[in-house]
Amino acid sequence: MTLRVLAAMSGGVDSAVAAARIAEAGHDVTGVHLALSKNPQSYRTGARGCCTVEDSRDARRAADVIGIPFYIWDMAERFHHDVVEDFVSEYAAGRTPNPCLRCNEKIKFEAVLDRALALGFDAVATGHYARVTADGTLSRAVDPVKDQSYVLGVLTREQLGRAMFPLGDTPKAAVREEAARRGLFVADKPDSHDVCFIADGDTRGFLRERLGPAAGPIVDSTGEVIGSHDGAYAYTVGQRKGLGVGRTPDGRPRYVLSIEPVSNTVTVGSREMLEVTEITAERPIWSGLRVPPATPITCGVQLRAHGEAYGCRVVLDGGRIRIALDRSASGVAAGQAAVFYDGDVVLGSATISAAT
């Protein structure tokens, strides 16, 4: 069956090959590049695969080589509200957000998908490394290094039913080789890294510019003040560098244990104090299950992008989830996602609110 497919083209090699594969399969494909900033230079410059004028040109040239129509959609206001402002407010609240995950949830598979369906498209395709199984569930990519199922774990079952990930069964090296064979000049273009909307990679400076200085204490695990900071938003749980408080009395490095936004306090301690075995999460999405689990389930959980999976027991507690890990995890930050797996298949996700 021929489908009308909207291919999101970032200007990088992955999305270009994804669009080419779908077109070659006989589908009616239209390429679209998302303009995410009214002033692209304020977000990122250079060939980074996201958010630049160069990227929009690269995407257009790739569409020309593939032989598909191409458009640019202005998503700047929506991106700023749902991703950039969310990023800033989450840090201000003492949490550590994942902007790539939020962009997938709010932009690519909500705003873009909704518009695509309204225009008569059947599906949206991206260059993410993940797979949608025959029964409509999300699964890991065959390339474990590039697997992006974690940042797609926030998608609903309905969204996954309209999503296409053509690269999920291919290693990244093979994708670059294929791009070169197809004559796509982005074959050797570097992958994008870091936060796409922070031009110089200086997250602390980006937040300070928007939130302003806010001096407060840095305390040890006993509550003793051992230093000061000019903005608790500049810290995240598990951080070791840039604390300016020296080592513990017995010579061990200190790490951020918690951030308390109300009192504007950053608490630090030894690495051992970062270990947690109990996690509380909220806002669950069960894309891999027809209905939410009525009883405790045993599964795996991934706590950060490209992080390891931990065995766990998950219990629903009203609208929240309690996660008991089989072994301790380190540096678990509120605001991050907990994504649940049965082997390679994503069962669902939730947002971490606390860990002990």
Q: Which residues are catalytic?
A: 103, 196
Using DSSP bridges, classify how beta strands 123-125 and 163-164 pair: parallel, antiparallel or unpaired.
Answer: parallel
Rounded distance between C-alpha atoms, residue 330 and residue 154, angstroms: 23
Buried b (16+ CB within 10 A) or exposed e, 116-139: beeeebbbbbbbbbbbbeeeebbb
3-state secondary structure of 42: helix
- Closest among 197, 233, 166 to 21, alpha carbons compared: 166
Residue with tokens 């990930």: 165
Paired tokens of 40: 């692209």
Q: What residues contact residue 137 under an 8 Å CB cut-off, 6+ apart? A: 157, 160, 287, 288, 345, 346
Helices 13-24 and 53-66, interaxial angle, to 10°? Answer: 20
For the chain, the farthest-separated pair of C-alpha atoms sits apart, in whole angstroms, at 68
